[in-house]
């Protein structure tokens, strides 16, 4: 699966250096040594022979198991060069990681090169307004509103301090609109669900809003409805940025709509699914970080599925590294048809997108053939909308599917602070769907 992908000699040198350090010096990877076919094999083959790193592995070996002997964790903490941060836990449960701000910032700057708008507006000193859930970023205050100066940090302004958009009042959203005009950020970075919520309010109240140079969507999966609602309000280009606390910035969407690997700061190994489940272009990704002397992450299963661009080319001209046509969503949010075919969040989103005047939705698969869908919609003809929804869902999941449709005024995020569009209420184990022809290591970890 690497025939059309182009990588520099420096990329392979970094890959080899990280793997050798991990296997030979770090306790977290000692048990992996038996899987290594040897230095006489190409580095890609050696990576393919290894298991995936999970959050369970991180919890068991944190922190010393991931830090080379020439770096002292206590000294790094005391000096402020690193700190411990805990993720919100959208896969398994939350996990504590080593946070190296200097490395994180460098990874972000490298990702800007992959989008011409980001490369133009993001200078490292630019103003950035962030509309995120404070459970993930910023300052949390559900009981009272924070003044603007309490939500400023250097060049950043955090527009929202509420953990649930149900707590947003018209006055709070007016404040967000006013602060964008006052702050005039070069970039707005946002949870797509939160920005779409604000845009629905702006559209309904016929307000005007400051236009930044670029809108970057991150933190959660952006639906087609989110994009539609955002584009009704903002003329600025919109790009999706993909990464994680453990791995830094992994992909950046270019101006042509494809996502490019941040190959200066990470390695991406792609494992296709079986053909009956969407392979070989659809599969999971395992991330290895580069250039972080404090935290060696190798083949980390971020829990997401992507659809690669098999041509290895993009009209933007950036053809080095893995090119992805779409992030398909989390394995934890995958569902199954009545015949047990895997359905990614993106496939579900495309099916729901045929409906008109829907703001948000959330699907729970209760069992093999029972699906419960919640919709947020201002359409008065709910009975007709329910019929259209059922028809679309049966096309996706099967004629035998039992579909129930209910309506809500607004959907709340998960306890992680992130918006979820789907979930099966039973385990969906990715190992059962991977195509073994593309993996050397046949054991399950």
The pLDDT value given to residue 257: 96
> Using CA of residue 219, residue 225, residue 229, residue 231, what is the dihedral sign?
positive
Cis peptide bond upstream of 63, omega within 30: yes
The pLDDT value given to residue 247: 97
The pLDDT value given to residue 442: 43
Cα-to-chain-centroid distance, residue 146: 28
The pLDDT value given to residue 109: 94
% residues pLDDT > 90 (the chain): 90
Terminal-residue alpha carbon distance, the chain:
22
Question: Residue range 281-294: average pLDDT?
Answer: 97
Strands 335-336 and 342-343: antiparallel
Question: Residue range 91-104: average pLDDT?
Answer: 86
Q: Could you read off the pLDDT of 212-235 as tens digits, one per residue? A: 999 999 999 999 999 999 999 999
- CB-based contact 287:263 (threshold 8 Å): no
Domain ranges in the chain?
1-126+186-332, 335-427
The pLDDT value given to residue 441: 53
- CB-based contact 292:102 (threshold 8 Å): no
The pLDDT value given to residue 416: 87
List phi, psi (to 5°) of 442: -90, -5
- CB-based contact 136:418 (threshold 8 Å): yes
Q: Between residues 79 and 4, which one has the greater pLDDT? A: 79
Residue 252: beta bridge partners? Answer: 241, 260
Question: Residue range 284-288: average pLDDT?
Answer: 98
Confidence of residue 404 (pLDDT cuts 50, 70, 90): very high
Q: Could you read off the pLDDT of 263-272 as tens digits, one per residue? A: 999 999 999 9
- CB-based contact 89:95 (threshold 8 Å): yes
75 CB burial (10 A radius; 0-12, 13-18, 19+):
exposed
The pLDDT value given to residue 110: 95
- pLDDT higher than 70, residue 444: no
Question: Residue range 118-137: average pLDDT?
Answer: 90
Confidence of residue 310 (pLDDT cuts 50, 70, 90): confident
What's the longest Cα–Cα distance across the chain? Answer: 67
Q: Could you read off the pLDDT of 68-88 as tens digits, one per residue? A: 999 999 999 999 999 999 886
Cis peptide bond upstream of 286, omega within 30: no
Topology annotation, domain 335-427: GMP Synthetase; Chain A, domain 3 (3.30.300)
Question: How many CB atoms lie under 10 A from the CB of residue 219?
Answer: 25
* 130 φψ region: left (φ > 0), alpha (ψ -120 to 50), beta (else): beta
**Mean per-residue pLDDT of the chain:** 94
- CB-based contact 274:434 (threshold 8 Å): yes
- Read off the DSSP letter of residue 367: S
The pLDDT value given to residue 311: 87
Q: Residue 154: which of 199, 124, 180, 187 has the closest Cα? A: 124
- pLDDT higher than 50, residue 304: yes
- pLDDT higher than 50, residue 443: no
Distance CA 438, CA 65 (A): 29
Q: Could you read off the pLDDT of 335-375 as tens digits, one per residue? A: 999 999 999 999 999 999 999 999 999 999 999 999 999 99
The pLDDT value given to residue 239: 97
Distance CA 75, CA 78 (A): 5
Question: Residue range 38-65: average pLDDT?
Answer: 96
Confidence of residue 123 (pLDDT cuts 50, 70, 90): confident
Question: Residue range 309-328: average pLDDT?
Answer: 92
The pLDDT value given to residue 121: 81
Confidence of residue 436 (pLDDT cuts 50, 70, 90): confident
Q: Could you read off the pLDDT of 155-201 as tens digits, one per residue? A: 999 999 999 999 999 999 999 999 999 999 999 999 999 999 999 99
The pLDDT value given to residue 2: 47
147 CB burial (10 A radius; 0-12, 13-18, 19+):
exposed
Confidence of residue 29 (pLDDT cuts 50, 70, 90): very high
Q: Residue 138: which of 155, 154, 160 has the closest Cα? A: 160
CA dihedral defined by 291, 295, 298, 300, rounded to 10 degrees?
A: -120
Q: Where are the beta strands (DSSP E) in 116-244?
A: 128-131, 152-153, 156-158, 187-190, 214-217, 238-244
Cα-to-chain-centroid distance, residue 256: 19
Cα-to-chain-centroid distance, residue 287: 13
Q: Does CATH place domain 1-126+186-332 in 3.40.50.12780?
A: yes
The pLDDT value given to residue 89: 55
Model pTM score: 0.93
- Read off the DSSP letter of residue 400: T
- CB-based contact 328:344 (threshold 8 Å): yes
Question: Residue range 269-276: average pLDDT?
Answer: 96
Confidence of residue 92 (pLDDT cuts 50, 70, 90): low
Distance CA 285, CA 304 (A): 7
């Amino acid at each position: 699966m690497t025939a059309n992908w182009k990588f520099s000699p420096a990329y392979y040198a970094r890959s080899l250096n990280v793997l050798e350090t991990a296997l030979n010096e770090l306790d977290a990877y000692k048990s992996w040594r038996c899987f290594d076919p040897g230095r006489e094999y190409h580095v890609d083959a050696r990576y393919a022979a290894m298991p995936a790193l999970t959050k369970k592995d991180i919890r068991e070996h944190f922190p010393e198991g991931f830090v080379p002997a020439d770096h002292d964790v206590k000294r790094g903490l005391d000096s402020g060069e690193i700190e411990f941060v805990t993720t919100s836990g959208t896969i398994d449960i939350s996990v504590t990681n080593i946070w190296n701000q200097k490395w994180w910032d460098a990874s972000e700057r490298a990702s800007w090169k992959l989008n011409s708008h980001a490369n133009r507006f993001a200078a490292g000193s630019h103003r950035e307004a962030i509309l995120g859930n404070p459970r993930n970023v910023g300052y949390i205050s559900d009981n009272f509103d924070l003044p603007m100066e309490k939500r400023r940090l250097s060049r950043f302004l955090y527009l929202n301090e509420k953990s649930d958009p149900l707590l947003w009042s018209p006055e709070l959203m007016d404040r967000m609109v006013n602060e964008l005009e006052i702050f005039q950020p070069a970039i707005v970075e946002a949870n797509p669900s939160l920005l779409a919520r604000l845009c629905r309010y702006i559209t309904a109240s016929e307000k005007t809003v400051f236009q930044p140079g670029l809108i970057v969507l991150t933190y959660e999966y952006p639906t087609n409805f989110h994009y539609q609602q955002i584009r009704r309000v903002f003329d600025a280009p919109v790009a999706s940025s993909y990464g994680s606390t453990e791995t830094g910035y992994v992909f950046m969407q270019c101006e042509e709509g494809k996502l490019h690997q941040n190959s200066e700061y990470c390695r991406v190994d792609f494992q296709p699914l079986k053909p009956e489940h969407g392979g070989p272009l659809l599969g999971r990704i395992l991330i290895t970080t580069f250039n972080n002397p404090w935290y060696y992450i190798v083949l980390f299963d971020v829990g997401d599925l992507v659809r690669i661009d098999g041509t290895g080319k993009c009209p933007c001209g950036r053809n080095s590294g893995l090119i992805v046509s779409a992030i398909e969503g989390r394995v934890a949010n995958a569902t199954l048809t009545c015949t047990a075919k895997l359905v990614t969040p993106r496939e579900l989103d495309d099916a729901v997108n045929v409906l008109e005047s829907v703001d948000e939705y959330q699907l729970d698969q209760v069992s093999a053939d029972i699906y419960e869908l919640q919709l947020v919609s201002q359409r008065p003809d709910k009975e007709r909308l329910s019929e259209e929804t059922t028809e679309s869902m049966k096309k996706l999941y099967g004629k035998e599917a039992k579909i129930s449709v209910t309506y809500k005024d607004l959907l709340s995020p998960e306890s992680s602070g992130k918006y979820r569009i789907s979930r099966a209420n039973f385990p969906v184990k990715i190992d059962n769907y991977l195509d073994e022809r593309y993996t050397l290591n046949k054991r399950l970890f």
